Amino acid sequence: MLKVENLHVYYGVIHAIKGVSFSVEEGQIVTLIGSNGAGKSTILKTISQILKQTEGTVTFLGNNIDTYEPHNLVHLGISHVPEGRHVFPGLTVLENLEMGAYSRKDKKEIKEDFVNVFTRFPRLEERKNQLAGTLSGGEQQMLTVGRSLMGNPDVLLLDESLSGVDVRHTSDLIDLFTQLCARGTSVLVSTHDLGLVRTHFSRCLTLNGHIIGDGSPAIELSGDKLEAVFSRTSVQGRS
């Protein structure tokens, strides 16, 4: 479904991403792990064309998307939840969710997706008329994920979206990812929480400016590999 081939990305003279290639199949969850500066956020931003690669291609459903602008990718079915709590603070929770569906015309299905989001995140329904800027950090994180789901994506890019969320709602998000994959949505998520990776995910890409591993957490988070990935000397590019 999503394919990255020989990706090279620079920040000025810094060669942040060096020849990265991987694919994410329909209905698959893939995690990106690595130290700060390993390139996790850079890869997600390049897939969504917030950053432009110097070399390499990104294809989605067989189509090259390198020339697309980020907002056009939403129409194709790619949704990116960036790191941090990027809500519209002066809008209500309901208005934030409506913004997630701005590109859709299927009014009946949009109403159904509001119900689905509120079912998955009851706290958001309780606060639907509250300004998003007054929510707690974890609630804002749930709102950014819920808003992204309102776009009905085929591929969901999540940058540290499990950070700052309490245990209960982390479990809810993981259950959500599993449900999304069961219906064919692909999820590519970066995280620092290796415990979650070990417990809940089956495939992870280990990064150090380039891919140094692609496999199960049992292998990628083994002692020797873990030391190589998270040693200070492994930091090459941007996060």
Structural domain boundaries in the chain: 1-77+153-239, 80-117+124-151
d(CA 195, CA 202): 13
Q: What is the mean pLDDT of residues 72-91?
A: 90
23 DSSP β-pair partners? 3
Across the range 135-152, mean pLDDT stands at: 90
pLDDT tens column, 195-220: 888 888 899 999 989 998 999 988 88
d(CA 236, CA 229): 11
Q: In 3D, which of 3, 14, 11, 20 has the Cα closest to residue 208? A: 20
Most confident of 29-38, 125-134, 141-150: 125-134
Note whether 10 and 1 are within 8 A (CB).
no
Average pLDDT over residues 37-45: 94
pLDDT in tens, 145-201: 999 999 889 999 999 887 767 777 788 888 888 889 999 999 999 988 888 888 888
- Rounded CA gap, 154 and 108, in Å? 19
Q: What is the pTM of this model?
A: 0.88
CB 121 within 8 A of CB 142: yes
1-77+153-239: CATH number: 3.40.50.300
pLDDT at 99: 92
Residues for the chain: how many in total?
Answer: 239
Torsion of CA 88, 44, 69, 61, to 10 degrees: -120
| Helix-helix angle 137-149:107-120, to 10 degrees | 150
Give me the pLDDT at residue 235, please: 42
